[in-house]
Amino acid sequence: MKKVKAFGVIVMILILLAGAAAAYYVLLPARTFDVPVISLEGVEAQAATGGFHTRLLREPDWLADRIPIAKESPIVSANYADVGKVAKKQLTLDVPADADSCTFELIRPFDSVNPVVAEGDLAEWQDFEFTRNGDYSLTVSLHYDEDETYDAADFNYQFNFTIDVQPVVRFSTDRAVQGDIIRVTADMGFETDAPTIESELGLCAFIPMGENCYEAYVPIGYNQAASAKDIIVHTGAKDVTGHVVITPAGFEVEYFDMPQETIDSTMNVPGASQDYKEKLGVLAEERYIVWEKLWDGRFIQPVEGTITSSFGLYRYINGSTTASRHQGIDIAAAEGTPVPASNRGQVVFADFVIMTGNTVVIEHGAGLKTIYMHLSEIDCAEGDMVEQGDIIGLVGSTGYSTGPHLHFEVRIGDQSVSPWPLIDGTSDIYGEEKEGN
């Protein structure tokens, strides 16, 4: 009987062990790994189609030969996530940080010759930039390595989308005051030709600003009538028009007595206006534009001193009933005061002009020029590249002037604009812009 009892106990123990093993086996697959969710441009894609494809809990080594739980990684067929139309060159892919690797393959499904556009890892995707519009299909694979808890697993996803990048043109403002500058930028997308710009407001030009981007400066001259004007940008694919409403700046009025000898030695010299036209007037032409951005950072007021004549001033000289206009600012300063370049640029004129005396003109790119008049001495030459602060001459009183001062002026084409926004940093050329239509 003892033997039978002992046998019974052993059988009971075996039954209990078998039960425990069975329970372990049954419970094992219930402990699952959450299927990772990934997204492209915020659109999520799900990997699992049946709801139970998952990363299996790994069985302990001692059970490995006895209980055949799936050792193969579950390969799950992808759902298709439709991202739609995207107007971007680079797309943001969000994947869980705990994945051991992430690879992608980008194809053009309707390109039977060269369907694969790019493939690689997550870092390579982050660097990838589209270069043409069209339909695309992106396959993403997440891989999890085997560790002490789980089997290895792969999850595959697919996104379908259409890249539709068009040129984007932006205008800094649609309202401007006489003397302002409007900044226009063009991101040309996949267009390879440079854009062009035209406006009855004056000469303006696009210069390259990084990859397929351009910018231009449109002058609102001091004598532009309060009115509405158009700026037209040709991008190849389409024309974009910016509208600008111009409001008056409210310029000062000055009644001024000019010594007759000064008038006789400048204005009244035969050929004086022809001399001005041939030397300074021609600088408004397109051939004097430097087609790159030379200026860098905020423009500086070249010399300190009392502003004796303001920008845009109406000047009635010697009792005349017609006003002349002052196109720059006059800064009183001692004869011989060094005059630095307001910003980086190229000297496009450095010579004597009957009307304006010793004169220097610096082109800063895209037709934006600063002008320095009445110098006692010129310390630069045509063609020189100058940095901001480089001394280009000395304050004097040459030309149509009654005392030592610097006439400082900013021009784009033949339009004079206010130097102040460039000096105080409020000019649109430094700032953000909004989209045109």
Interface ranges with Zn ion (CB under 5 A): 330, 407
- Contacts with 432 (C-beta within 8 Å, 6 or more apart), sequence order: 172
For strands 207-208 and 213-219, give the pairing: antiparallel
Q: Please, what is the minimum distance in Å from the beta carbon of residue 329 to Zn ion?
A: 7
**Nearest-CB residue for Zn ion:** 407
Q: Please, what is the minimum distance in Å from the beta carbon of residue 423 to Zn ion?
A: 16
CB closer to Zn ion, 54 vs 398: 398
Distance CA 107, CA 113 (A): 11
421: nearest Cα among 278, 269, 298, 279: 298
Q: Please, what is the minimum distance in Å from the beta carbon of residue 192 to Zn ion?
A: 45
Say if residues 100 and 143 touch (Cβ distance below 8 Å).
yes
Q: Please, what is the minimum distance in Å from the beta carbon of residue 136 to Zn ion?
A: 60
DSSP string over 175-222: EEETT-EEEEEEE-TT--SPPEEEETT-----EE-STTEEEEEEE--T
Say if residues 186 and 206 touch (Cβ distance below 8 Å).
yes
Q: Please, what is the minimum distance in Å from the beta carbon of residue 323 to Zn ion?
A: 14
CB closer to Zn ion, 414 vs 433: 414
Distance CA 62, CA 157 (A): 35
CB closer to Zn ion, 16 vs 334: 334
Q: Please, what is the minimum distance in Å from the beta carbon of residue 406 to Zn ion?
A: 8
Q: Please, what is the minimum distance in Å from the beta carbon of residue 339 to Zn ion?
A: 14
Say if residues 402 and 296 touch (Cβ distance below 8 Å).
no
* Exposure letters 195-216 (e unless 16+ CB within 10 A, then b): bbbebebbbbbbbebeebebbb
Q: Please, what is the minimum distance in Å from the beta carbon of residue 356 to Zn ion?
A: 9
CB closer to Zn ion, 180 vs 330: 330
The amino acid sitting at 139 is T
Instruction: Kindly tell me the sign of the dihedral angle through the C-alpha atoms of 219, 225, 226, 232.
Output: negative
Distance CA 303, CA 338 (A): 8
Say if residues 323 and 315 touch (Cβ distance below 8 Å).
yes
CB closer to Zn ion, 407 vs 411: 407
CB closer to Zn ion, 234 vs 326: 326
Distance CA 160, CA 43 (A): 11
Which pair of structure tokens corresponds to residue 219? 């002058």
Q: Please, what is the minimum distance in Å from the beta carbon of residue 350 to Zn ion?
A: 18
For strands 175-177 and 239-247, give the pairing: parallel
Q: Please, what is the minimum distance in Å from the beta carbon of residue 221 to Zn ion?
A: 16
* Exposure letters 147-175 (e unless 16+ CB within 10 A, then b): eeebbbbbbbbbbbbebebebbbbbbbee
CB closer to Zn ion, 187 vs 330: 330
CB closer to Zn ion, 128 vs 251: 251
CB closer to Zn ion, 260 vs 402: 402
